[in-house]
Amino acid sequence: MAARRKATTQISRLAHRAGGTAVANRMVPEETPVAFSFAGTTHAVMMASPADFDDFALGFSLTEGIVAAPDEIEAIEVEDLGAGIDIQIRLKDKANTRFQARRRRLAGPVGCGLCGIESIEEAMRSVDAVGASKLTLDADDIVRSVKLLSKVQPLHTETGAVHAAGFYIPGKGIVMAREDVGRHNALDKLAGALVKAGIDGASGAVVVTSRVSVEMVQKTAAISSAFIIAVSAPTALAIRTAEAAGMTLVALVRGDDFDVFTHPDRVAPGVAKHVA
């Protein structure tokens, strides 16, 4: 298991303000390379906050489609290499065979001008449909979910420089949240934490402090949530992907205002204002 690392560091900076200039201290978040290695081979390296490594490994494996269920993972070992963190993930036989075939398919021949095609297809992979979800939210739920998430972000409160992903269940509030310097990382960590806690992704909404890119929609679908709620705007591809997956995408939640971009039928009727 990796040694516990500091999440923040205090630094000195020159602060310019309307009343003058002064040297003052400020807390800033740490980030470190985190490598995901399967069968002894590095698959991906992410710059991430040095915390919640087990959640990160499990969530990444699930949301990237490397495993279909947590029981396909035999073991997760976290090693602190000084310059970064190496997470060794051992897959069980069938999952490992499937993963090795996937690696060979994505590698392509060296120098081949077409070898990126498979990787592009992987990036644009279809997502599991979540249209069967019966979950509905009203305006109060949507506004409350963002407000409650802001109250469970200790790292952001200290530094003002990290993202958060939370899981909101009507009547219960934010039942799980994770923070990270990377928005995708925070969502992966949330995915892993939900699985470890035995929380059904279809029972609530994913709430994020970032914009909504297509990867955020893909990862939310992997969690099986039919809702993604964000404080910032979505991309066009994210909207199209959410629409195709049957997911309700709510974004630009600012105070009591928000926009519903896809599948508005899950938002209780009569609660969203019509705005230009």
pLDDT of residue 86: 95
For residues 215 and 251, state if they share a domain: yes
Catalytic residue among 14, 23, 75, 112: 112
Annotation marks residue 112 as catalytic: yes
Among residues 123, 150, 184, the one where a domain terminates is: 123
Q: What's the CATH number where 226 sits?
A: 3.40.140.10
- Cβ atoms of 184 and 33 closer than 8 Å: no
List, for residues 227-236, the tens digit of each pLDDT value.
999 999 999 9
- Is residue 51 domain-resident? yes
pTM: 0.90
For residues 153 and 102, state if they share a domain: no
For residues 106 and 58, state if they share a domain: yes
What's the mean pLDDT when you consider all of the chain? 89
For residues 42 and 152, state if they share a domain: no
- Is residue 147 domain-resident? yes
For residues 197 and 243, state if they share a domain: yes
pLDDT of residue 155: 96
pLDDT of residue 39: 85
Q: What's the CATH number where 116 sits?
A: 3.10.20.10
Going by pLDDT thresholds of 50, 70 and 90, the confidence category of residue 113 is very low
- Is residue 11 domain-resident? no
Look up residue 227 and give its two tokens. 């809702």
For residues 147 and 261, state if they share a domain: yes
Rg for the chain (alpha carbons), in Å?
Answer: 20
Buried b (16+ CB within 10 A) or exposed e, 20-46: eeeeeeeeebbbbebbbbbeeeebeeb
For residues 147 and 63, state if they share a domain: no
For residues 87 and 193, state if they share a domain: no
- Is residue 81 domain-resident? yes
- Is residue 179 domain-resident? yes
Closest CA to 249 of 203, 200, 212: 212
- Is residue 78 domain-resident? yes
For residues 145 and 259, state if they share a domain: yes
- Is residue 27 domain-resident? no
For residues 70 and 151, state if they share a domain: no
List, for residues 132-180, the tens digit of each pLDDT value.
788 999 999 999 999 999 999 999 999 999 999 999 999 999 999 999 9
Among residues 99, 123, 147, the one where a domain terminates is: 123
Amino acid at the residue 14: L
- Cβ atoms of 228 and 205 closer than 8 Å: yes
> Residue 245 pLDDT > 90, yes or no?
yes
- Is residue 20 domain-resident? no
Q: How many CA within 13 A on the CB side of residue 190?
A: 34
Domain, as residue range, for 64: 32-123
Alpha helices in 50-92 (DSSP H): 53-63
Total domain count for the chain? 2
Among residues 94, 123, 152, the one where a domain terminates is: 123
Going by pLDDT thresholds of 50, 70 and 90, the confidence category of residue 61 is very high
For residues 249 and 178, state if they share a domain: yes
Amino acid at the residue 45: V
Looking at per-residue confidence, does 125 or 253 come out higher? 253
Distance CA 261, CA 242 (A): 9
For residues 117 and 169, state if they share a domain: no
> Residue 120 pLDDT > 70, yes or no?
no
Mean pLDDT of 115-126: 59
**Strand extents, DSSP E, the chain:** 8-17, 20-29, 32-38, 41-48, 73-80, 85-91, 163-169, 173-180, 205-208, 227-230, 248-254, 257-260
pLDDT of residue 76: 96
> Residue 109 pLDDT > 60, yes or no?
no
> Residue 99 pLDDT > 80, yes or no?
yes
